[in-house]
Structure 1
Amino acid sequence: MITIEKKLQLPDTYPLERIGKLEDLLFFDIETTGFSGDRCQLYLIGCTYYKDNTWNLIQWFADTKAAEKDLLDHFFDFLKQYKTVVHFNGDGFDIPFLQKRCKHFDLPCGFSGVSSFDIYKKIKPYRNLLGLDNLKQKSIEQFLGIARTDKYNGGQLIEVYKDYLMTHEQNLYDLLILHNEDDLKGMPSILPILNYPDFLEHPFTLSDQEIVDEPDANGHFRHLLKLTCKSFCSIPVPVKASMAPARCTMEKDQITFFVELTEGTLKHFYPDYKDYYYLPFEDRAVHKSIGSCVDKDARVKATAASCYTKTTGFFLPQFEDIWEPVMKQEYKDKMRYAALGDVYLSDQAALQKYTNAILAYDRVGGGYRRRPLTPPDMRFR
């Protein structure tokens, strides 16, 4: 086994204290001869860590097949100093692979008591929102505007390692070591992507709300609720996302939501419909305590779909039930609404719940029908 140690100059790209104490973090990446931890070999483990006011690199390289067990021994002994491992898709590949190799050699696997921070898993819920084709490290680098060229990928280096085992040529060794080092050096460059979950998972502060008019493709004006909110952190690259009937723009520490309002007559459906009569001539339901006074020819037993009262006005789409009463166009419609006068966005908890629901709506889907709008008189509490 060969051990390589050196000091590094790494850029300060992200406030790592959001993950944990700097001295408690261990970044790591492994190189293997394949994907299966049962059949393939581990030949290189690389780590970066912060100590004595500087970044350091340590690598353990299996210069023979027999050295693989030594790599595992040294890595897990080194890991005892740290509380958190940081990696890219390590929960999906690196850690399970190491666990299987430990089992193969009948070694204890020292990840117990160590927390795992997977950059890949942190950003996975926001792939669609950020418009990422996939979650490969290269795609994230492109999103962040980082230009980095890999001469070889991990698969190509498998053959390089096999050649090294037969020849022990220095140029092959250098290639293997430098590839792993470059991957570890490249990890700080993608850390700014973590600002997006930080931005989206913490409460926003409402800084402005207004109704704005916007022309559609036919030149007709529609009316939208515009919410301008602030976050505690900034994002590196602006993002625009659409989740009809809403959209949002994110830039620096600000997110702006535009939600299209609906004008017309909507229905509030009562769940205990067996306690109601439907009055077909009035197109509404009344409780049996009142409906019993209505002529029998003017009432019928309400059903789930006919047990409603109606309200006319302007309505805000609700992406989950926040404000009561909940209004719908028809009983089976997925999209729900709240009458504009019932919306209290000055309530921080309601604001956060509503903005979170908008951002999640693109992932769960739903239906929406547009209605023509006329200029309203709208006020917010």
Structure 2
Amino acid sequence: MITLEKTISFCETYPLERLGKREELLFFDIETTGFSGEYSTLYLIGCVYYREGNWNLIQWFADTLDSEGEVLKTFFEFLKKFTKVIHFNGDGFDIPYLLKRCRAHCLAYDFSSVESLDIYKKIRPYRNLLGLSSMKQKAIEEFLQVERKDLYSGGQLIEVYKDYLICRDRYLFDLLILHNEDDLKGMPLILPILSYPDFLEQDFSLDKQEILYQTDLFDRPQPLLKLTCKTGISIPIGFSKSNSMVLLEAEENVLTAVIDLFDGELKYFYPDYKNYYYLIYEDHAIHKSVAEYVDREARIKATAKTCYTRKNGCYLPQFSSLWTPSFQRELKDKISYIPYEAQLFENQENVRLYTRHLLNILCR
């Protein structure tokens, strides 16, 4: 086994205090000869850590196939100095792979003593909201508008490692070491993506609400509700996401939601329709205790579809059952509405519920 260690420049592009004390954080990345922990081997583990005011890089390289076990032992003993590991898709690949290789060598190591922060898993729920083209590290770098040239992929370096084991060429060794080093040095480039879960998982406070109007295809004014909310976390790059009824835009520490209001008549459907009659000529339902006084020819037993009362107003949409009582256009419509009043969002809990509601819908 070959051990390499040096001090490096590790630009702090994200407030690391949100993750913990610097001395307790360990960034790591592994290089293997395949995806399967049963049928391939580990040949390199690289780590970045903070000590005495400096960021350091340490790498353990299996210069022979027999030294894989030594690499594993050395890494896991080193791991005992830290409380949190940080990685990209390590929960999905690196950690399970290392545990399988430990079992292959009858080593009783695990990650139970450390907390795992997987950047991939942390941002995955927000892929659609942020418009990420994929969940590959390259797509995240493109979203953050950063450039990093990676001359070789991990897959291409498998053959390089095999050739190194045969010829021990220094050039091949440097390729393997530098690829892993570049991956670890590139970690700060994607750390700012963690600002998005930080931003989106905070409670937003309402800064301003206003009613706007836009004209429809028939030149009729249609009301829109604009909610401007703020939080204590800022994001590096703004984003926007919309569906047919809602536009969300985020910039720095501000989240703006523009929502189509419905101005007109909607129906409230009574849930216990068997206790109601539908009035044919008046187009609404009344309870059977009152319907006894209505001409039999003017009423029929209500069904789920006809058991409603109608009401005009200005309504706020909700995409699942957030508040009741709610109104609908028709019984089976997935979108329901509640009467909109400005006082609704004077309550901070309602602001929290509705912004979370909109974010959940647009994350899908």
**CA offset at residue 19 of structure 1?**
2.0
2:220 & 2:300 partners in 1: Cα distance? 42
With structure 2 as the length reference, what TM-score do the two structures score? 0.96
* Percent of aligned pairs with the same amino acid: 55
In 1, are the aligned partners of 2:33 and 2:42 still within 8 Å (CA)? yes
Instruction: Give per-residue Cα distances to partners, 1:302-359, cap 9 Å, x unaligned.
Output: 2111111111121111123333320100000001111113861122222111111112
* Partner residue in 2 for 1:225: 225
Shift of residue 109, structure 1, vs aligned partner: 2.6
Secondary structure of the corresponding residue to residue 122 of structure 2: helix
- Residue deviations 1:126-161, cap 9 Å, x none? 111111110111111111111111111111111111
User: Structure 1: where are the runs of 5+ without partners?
Assistant: 365-381
CA–CA distance in structure 2, aligned partners of residues 314 and 181 of structure 1: 59
Contact conserved, 2:126 with 2:363, CA < 8 A, in 1?
A: no
Q: What displacement does 1:97 show?
A: 0.6
* Cα displacement (A) at 1:113: 2.8
Aligned to 2:266: 266
2:148 alignment counterpart: 148
2:296 maps to which residue?
A: 296
Q: Which moved more, 1:76-85 or 1:289-298?
A: 289-298
Structure 1 counterpart of 2:94: 94
Cross-structure match for 1:24? 24
The 1:291–1:22 alpha-carbon spacing in structure 2 relative to 1, beyond 3 Å, is farther
Cα drift, residue 13 of structure 1: 0.7
Matches within 5 A, 1:76-91: 76-91=76-91
- Number of the residue aligned with 1:311: 311
1:240 aligns with 2:240: yes
Partner of 1:287: 287
Q: Give how far 1:30 is off.
A: 0.3
**Whole-angstrom CA distance in 2 between matches of 1:54 and 1:222:** 59
CA contact (8 A) 2:22 2:50 kept: yes
**Aligned-pair distance for 1:288?**
2.2
* Equivalent residues, number: 364
One-letter code aligned to 1:292: E
Matched, 1:134 2:148: no
Q: Give the CA deviation at 1:221.
A: 3.9
Q: TM-score, normalised by structure 1?
A: 0.92
SS in 1 for 2:231: strand
- Where does residue 174 of structure 1 map in the other structure? 174
Residue pair 2:320, 2:334 contacting (<8 A) in 1 also: no
Check conservation: 2:223, 2:263, Cα contact below 8 A. no
Q: CA deviation at 1:123?
A: 0.8
Unmatched 5+ stretches in structure 2: none
2:301 paired with 1:320 = no
> What pairs with 1:362-381 in structure 2 (closer than 5 Å)?
362-364=362-364
Q: State the Cα deviation string for residues 214-263 of structure 1 (Å, max 9, x = none).
A: 34577654321000000211111111111220011111111111001112
Do residues 330 (structure 1) and 327 (structure 2) align? no
RMSD of Structure 2 on Structure 1 (CA)? 1.6
| 1:87-138 CA-partner distances (Å, limit 9, x unpaired) | 0000111011111111111111321132111000111111111111101111
3-state SS in 1 of match to 2:359 = helix
